[in-house]
Amino acid sequence: MANHDALPLVILTEQFAKLPGIGIKTATRLAYHVMSMPSDEVEAFSQALLHAKRTVHYCKCCENLTDSDFCPICNDNSRDKSTICVVETPKDISAFERTGEYKGVYHVLHGLISPLKNILPDDLKIRSLIARVQQGNIQEVIMATNPTVEGDATASYISQLLKPFGVTVTRLAFGLPVGGILEYADEVTLYKALENRNAM
Amino acid sequence: MANHDALPLVILTEQFAKLPGIGIKTATRLAYHVMSMPSDEVEAFSQALLHAKRTVHYCKCCENLTDSDFCPICNDNSRDKSTICVVETPKDISAFERTGEYKGVYHVLHGLISPLKNILPDDLKIRSLIARVQQGNIQEVIMATNPTVEGDATASYISQLLKPFGVTVTRLAFGLPVGGILEYADEVTLYKALENRNAM
């Protein structure tokens, strides 16, 4: 925004521009849009920000985001509490829940180990995962971190930590995405698909 | 967001999704991002929304957005008050100001006449424009609405209204965009470029 713009508008634009994936042009457009919104809608938006930040925290069991002590999945008695799916972010839970196939529970790490970004194991929610496994009754821990260098490294690190507890640790399958086109698959994916081929 | 998400997060996501150009996936990403922001930054964002909406209103002269009675451009004594550039939105002013070439003042219509969308002349800031011209001392009114059907229609409508006041009414030039490639220009633009050709 230029210096002829009203200061409160400039400040609002800067706030929008801090959000991920929102550049200065989009932020300007959003700030102008807010000006054309009814006052009560702007107040609702402003309140929603504060309310979400103030009331939402980590689930005492799985570290998912929730506004009560335990998240709805941990509270759900129909879920299989002996299987834990370990994910990087709360968003990943939504992805698994959309499949409707997974009946176990989750554990959110809130990051991946990355020495380059100075993210060490202690910065993640690994200790609470170990504590859950230590309490017993866990059959399987599924490492569902992203198939990236950091995701793989974090999965291996945690699987080493879990070995002494005699729990089965598995990793998501790698292969061709369903509906994908072989021609466009990268070499590593194709190699993994070949390596993990199944009998028909 | 799925029903396992915390309600305050769902509400925040819905608020983000109301913004133009932000779909449900982006809204979810932004809501989760807010959860990872420090509390004071979320409060600053929330405040910026309220403050901008409460303090920013229309300039008493040109209808631009401002937080004082008159906008900085109308308050600027070095600007040529005898030339008014008529634009659709406050954003358009920023575009002209970036050129650094225009020394006159502006008038913001806050929309374009569109019978299909039920936007009639009385819904725009046309009356205050006529009043400015009526007060005298205006030499030229530049119609700088977009080169669309609605922009052209609004420009013609206003130019008819201004005729009795003996003021010069001009329209932005149409032609090839600078740096554009002839091959990709649409037929109407090319026709306009040909029609308005200049001696070299």
Q: Give CA–CA dist B143/B168, Å, rounded.
A: 11
Residue B33 and residue A3 in contact, taking contact as beta carbons nearer than 8 Å: no
Mean pLDDT within A38-47: 95
Inform me whether the C-beta atom of residue B197 falls under 8 Å from chain A C-beta atoms.
no
Instruction: Kindly determine whether residue B4 and residue A93, on different chains, have CB atoms separated by under 8 Å.
Output: yes
Interface of B with A in 7-26 (CB under 8 A): 7-9, 11-12, 14-15, 18-21, 26
pLDDT of B16 higher than 90: yes
Q: Give CA–CA dist B97/B90, Å, rounded.
A: 11
Contact list, A34 vs chain B (CB under 8 Å) = 49, 52-53
Residue A106 and residue A97 in contact, taking contact as beta carbons nearer than 8 Å: no
Most confident of A171-175, B33-37, B92-96: B33-37
Above pLDDT 90, what percent of chain B?
Answer: 69
The whole-chain average pLDDT of chain B stands at 90
pLDDT of B1 higher than 50: no
Inform me whether the C-beta atom of residue B69 falls under 8 Å from chain A C-beta atoms.
no
Residue with tokens 């999704």: B17
Nearest CA in chain B to A9: B52
Contact list, A53 vs chain B (CB under 8 Å) = 34-35, 37, 39, 42-43
* Nearest-neighbour CA in chain B from A170: distance (Å): 25
Tokens at residue B120, please? 């009639």
Above pLDDT 90, what percent of chain A?
Answer: 68
Q: Give CA–CA dist A185/A174, Å, rounded.
A: 12
Task: Quote the ipTM score.
Answer: 0.77
Mean pLDDT within B15-19: 96
Nearest CA in chain B to A59: B6
Q: Report pLDDT digits (tens) over A86-144.
A: 999 998 898 888 888 889 999 999 999 999 999 999 999 999 999 999 998 899 999 99
**How many CB atoms lie under 10 A from the CB of residue A120?**
11
pLDDT of B175 higher than 90: no
Instruction: Kindly determine whether residue A97 and residue B2, on different chains, have CB atoms separated by under 8 Å.
Output: yes
Q: Give CA–CA dist A120/B88, Å, rounded.
A: 52
Contact list, B20 vs chain A (CB under 8 Å) = 29-30, 33
Alpha-carbon torsion, ordered B88, B92, B93, B95, to 10 deg: -160
Nearest CA in chain B to A34: B53
Burial of B33 (0-12, 13-18, 19+ CB in 10 A): middle
Q: Give CA–CA dist A38/A46, Å, rounded.
A: 13
Q: Report pLDDT digits (tens) over B55-98.
A: 999 999 999 999 999 999 999 999 999 999 999 999 889 888 88
Instruction: Kindly determine whether residue B35 and residue A66, on different chains, have CB atoms separated by under 8 Å.
Output: no
Q: Give CA–CA dist A81/B186, Å, rounded.
A: 62
Contact list, B58 vs chain A (CB under 8 Å) = none
Burial A49-70, CB ≥16 within 10 A → b, else e: bbbbbeebebbebbbbbbbeee
Inform me whether the C-beta atom of residue B43 falls under 8 Å from chain A C-beta atoms.
yes
Picking from B39, B49, B94, the nearest residue to A42 by CB comes out as B49
Mean pLDDT within A1-16: 82
Instruction: Kindly determine whether residue B52 and residue A37, on different chains, have CB atoms separated by under 8 Å.
Output: no
Picking from B2, B7, B51, the nearest residue to A67 by CB comes out as B7
Nearest CA in chain A to B52: A8
Q: Report pLDDT digits (tens) over B176-190.
A: 787 777 777 788 888
Nearest CA in chain B to A76: B4
Alpha-carbon torsion, ordered B63, B65, B68, B71, to 10 deg: -70
